[in-house]
Amino acid sequence: MTGSLVRVERDGDIATLTFCDPERLNAMTRPMGEAFAEKVGELCREDGLRAVVLTGEGRAFSAGGDLEFIRAMAEAGVADPGGPTRRSNRDAMRAFYGLFLAVRDLPCPSVAAINGPAIGAGLCVALACDLRVVAREAKLGLNFSRLGIHPGMGATWTLPRLVGPAHAADLLLTGRILDGQEAERIGLVNRCVEREAVLEHATALAREVAAAAPAAVRGTREALARSSGASLDDQLAFEAARQAECYETHDLLEGLSAAREKRAPHFRDE
């Protein structure tokens, strides 16, 4: 039943995940999250997947969290300040984050195709992807503080790593809205294009990723994820270990041959 809220389309080694609740601007509801986590789990079990594109149906990527869900929890919290409700609200939110942050469990890089508004939790999901392509006129914002709630879904972790502490403080403390062009300028996204070209560019970027050697891509993704908490010596050891693993692959020999012969390589993840 919940599967209808998220569509999966597979084209060779690339899959496209689409939020499918356009009437609600693809709001981050619990049913949507359950459907999303289910589809991600299915993709994790598929063979040959090298990149995933995530987008929204209709005019929005996702307009954010389910306000009625938030209101219900707030009313319960106000009625029981400091009591057991605080713990249940905390546990409920942590579980909710996990549904949408399942995108980080994908075995391959993900590209967010931000075709329209991406607000609050909706933008958080895009930030959890490896790469982002945005429409010039798209409205982006982490408006938690303007609603009266602390940021969630990893916003305070992902945002500083992408744009630095100064820009992160600006966006999180003010909750202001920015457009795609500013998002590109501060490093929040990788590409800013016309709205009608967002999915095309995101898919092309996914194809570039898919054309690279899978083992090298997996290792690089892991290295980037761990780098902020690692010392240089630790990171050098990690890189050397991953390069040693690549020395055991036929894909490295293929890449070297392709470079010598001035042709595109054909990697087989072997």
Backbone region of residue 42 per phi and psi (left: phi > 0; alpha: psi in -120 to 50; beta: other values): alpha
d(CA 105, CA 209): 17
d(CA 83, CA 77): 8
Residues shown for the chain:
270
List the 177-179 sheet strands across, edge first.
118-119, 139-141, 177-179
**222 in the same domain as 145:** no
Mean pLDDT of 59-83: 93
265 near 258, Cβ under 8 Å?
yes
pLDDT averaged over the chain? 95
CB atoms inside a 10 Å sphere around CB 152: 17
Final residue before a domain boundary, out of 170, 187, 210:
210
**254 in the same domain as 180:** no
CB atoms inside a 10 Å sphere around CB 6: 24
With 0.85 as the threshold, say if the pTM is over it: yes
Query: Under 8 Å CB-to-CB from 162, ≥6 apart: which residues?
Result: 127, 168, 187, 188
**255 in the same domain as 170:** no
Residue 109 has pLDDT above 90, yes or no: yes
57 falls within a domain? yes
Using CA atoms, how far residue 187 sits from 26, 148, 172, 183, 249, in Å, is 25, 27, 15, 6, 34
d(CA 77, CA 89): 8
**110 in the same domain as 32:** yes
pLDDT digits (tens, 9 = 90+) for 147-177: 999 999 999 999 999 999 999 999 999 999 9
CATH code of residue 136: 3.90.226.10
Q: Which residues of 110-126 are buried (b: 16+ CB within 10 A; e: fewer)?
A: bbbbbbbbbbbbbbbbb
Mean pLDDT of 66-84: 92
How much of the chain, in percent, has pLDDT values that exceed 70? 99
The end-to-end CA distance of the chain, in Å, is 38
Range of the domain at 236: 214-261
**107 in the same domain as 93:** yes
Residue 1 has pLDDT above 60, yes or no: no
Instruction: Calculate the CA 113 to chain-centre distance.
Output: 10
Looking at residue 187, what is its pLDDT?
97
Count of structural domains, the chain = 2
Residue 200 has pLDDT above 80, yes or no: yes
Final residue before a domain boundary, out of 170, 186, 210:
210
Looking at residue 137, what is its pLDDT?
96
pLDDT digits (tens, 9 = 90+) for 18-37: 999 999 999 999 999 999 99
Mean pLDDT of 185-214: 97
Residue 256 has pLDDT above 60, yes or no: yes
**105 in the same domain as 22:** yes
Dihedral pair phi/psi, residue 149, rounded to 5°: -130, 150
Mean pLDDT of 114-128: 97
Final residue before a domain boundary, out of 170, 193, 210:
210
pLDDT level of residue 3 (50, 70, 90 thresholds): low
226 near 238, Cβ under 8 Å?
yes
Crossing angle between the packed helical segments 214-227 and 232-246, to the nearest 10 degrees: 170
d(CA 208, CA 33): 28
**247 in the same domain as 121:** no
CATH code of residue 230: 1.10.12
Residue 6 has pLDDT above 60, yes or no: yes
**245 in the same domain as 112:** no
CA atoms within 13 A on the CB side of 212: 15
Residue 143 has pLDDT above 50, yes or no: yes
210 near 52, Cβ under 8 Å?
no
d(CA 88, CA 106): 29
How much of the chain, in percent, has pLDDT values that exceed 90? 97
30 falls within a domain? yes
